[in-house]
Structure 1
Amino acid sequence: MPSSFQAPKRGDKAKETTHSQSLISNTAQENATVRKLIDHKGRSVFSITPDDTLSTAVKVLADKHIGALLVTDADGALVGILSERDIVRKLAATPGQTLPQTVAENMTKNVQTCSLDDQLVDVLKTMTDGRFRHIPVLEDGKLCGMLTIGDVVNYRLLELEYEAMQLKQMIVG
């Protein structure tokens, strides 16, 4: 014990304490939602129609540097999703005959979606369990964005880095 330390005595006044460096104040934060990530990432989506060809889809994917396209009807309603993985599988199954095929013949029709209020950790679990890398975001039943597994993982890594920094500050003081 340092020589300058003096134990409290019976008549000493209790010092006011603050809670600015408590475990709760340093680690408590709202659970991240899809809305938080979409607001940061943006709400743009790239879509194609069911009648377009895979050739057209491949060009859009390459031009936009993306891995999947949402398939929408004339009213903009989601009817499917077409990913690079879907196209590669079809290329393997029908070599030399793939690019003229329609998107409708090759898209995934039963599309998993999420909403703006879903927790990112739940979306990540859904994507991991379903083994897919893209998930459309709906607001009031309408498309308002698209998340990739990379978006969700990167956001979570930044969150963990922030939490680690806060804990370090709490330990160091």
Structure 2
Amino acid sequence: MAPSSYQPPTRGDKATTATRSQSVESNLSQTNTTVAKLLEGKGDAVFAVRPTDTIHSVVEILREKRIGAVVVTDQNGTLQGILSERDIVRRMAETPGQTLPQSVSDLMTRDVQTCKPDDPLNDVLKTMTEGRFRHMPVLSDGILRGVITIGDVVHFRLKELEYEALRMKQMIVG
């Protein structure tokens, strides 16, 4: 049985007039969030080391700052590579007891995937997931602007979804 407030269409109703509370544009509006928006909330602090530093000094920085990777820059701040916990652990398995005195340049990843502040977060997340890496430096005009992690992207996106759900609930409840 239909609710008492339901009224079936009548001959005078126009079937071509339709209203929509949602559209593709409104549903996808949040997916256009950029890296710059994430960095606004996160900040642009970057922990960098030099290629000649030792792995021991990097391990100390990672532990002290509670981070998972450092960028490697030259004296001018130009990106040379990236070094993560994973890189260090893999080398420790290959050269037990000999890893800490090695230099950063021996272990760092030189071909670094980077992104730009105006890149969409969804594209960056896809790149990081497909490439199976968790840290991505942000470059603008060749200048290092920050580093984002896959955790940063997921956390930011979850906050967006929570906000969106709250807005929908407020719209429904009134």
Is 1:167 the counterpart of 2:168? The answer is: yes
Q: Which whole-Å CA distance do the structure 1 matches of 2:39 and 2:128 have between them?
A: 16
Matches within 5 A, 1:1-173: 1=4, 22-23=21-22, 29=29, 31-173=32-174
**How far 1:167 moved relative to its partner?**
2.6
**How far 1:172 moved relative to its partner?**
3.5
Q: Secondary structure at the match of 2:109?
A: coil
Cα deviations by residue, 1:1-53 (Å, 9 ceiling, x for unpaired): 36xx9xxxx9xxxxxxxx9x943597574521000000111011000000001
- 1:141 partner letter: G
* 8 A contact 1:49–1:73 mirrored in 2: yes
User: Mind listing any 5+ residue stretches in structure 1 that lack a counterpart?
Assistant: 11-18
- 2:42 partner letter: K
Q: 1:128 to 1:53 in 2, by over 3 A?
A: same
**How far 1:139 moved relative to its partner?**
1.4
* 8 A contact 1:27–1:166 mirrored in 2: no
So what's the TM-score if we normalise by structure 1?
A: 0.84
So what's the TM-score if we normalise by structure 2?
A: 0.83
**How far 1:61 moved relative to its partner?**
0.8
**How far 1:66 moved relative to its partner?**
0.6
Q: Which whole-Å CA distance do the structure 1 matches of 2:72 and 2:33 have between them?
A: 28
Question: In percent, how many aligned pairs have the same letter?
Answer: 58
Q: Which whole-Å CA distance do the structure 1 matches of 2:104 and 2:114 have between them?
A: 19
Q: Which whole-Å CA distance do the structure 2 matches of 1:170 and 1:63 have between them?
A: 45
- 2:22 partner letter: L
Cα deviations by residue, 1:43-90 (Å, 9 ceiling, x for unpaired): 110000000010111011111111000000111100000000000000
Q: Secondary structure at the match of 2:133?
A: coil
Higher RCO (CA-CA < 8 Å; seq separation 6+): 1
Q: Over aligned residues, Cα RMSD in angstroms?
A: 2.4
Q: Which whole-Å CA distance do the structure 2 matches of 1:120 and 1:159 have between them?
A: 12
- Larger deviation: 120-129 or 26-35? 26-35
User: Mind listing any 5+ residue stretches in structure 2 that lack a counterpart?
Assistant: 13-18
Report how many aligned residue pairs link the two structures: 160
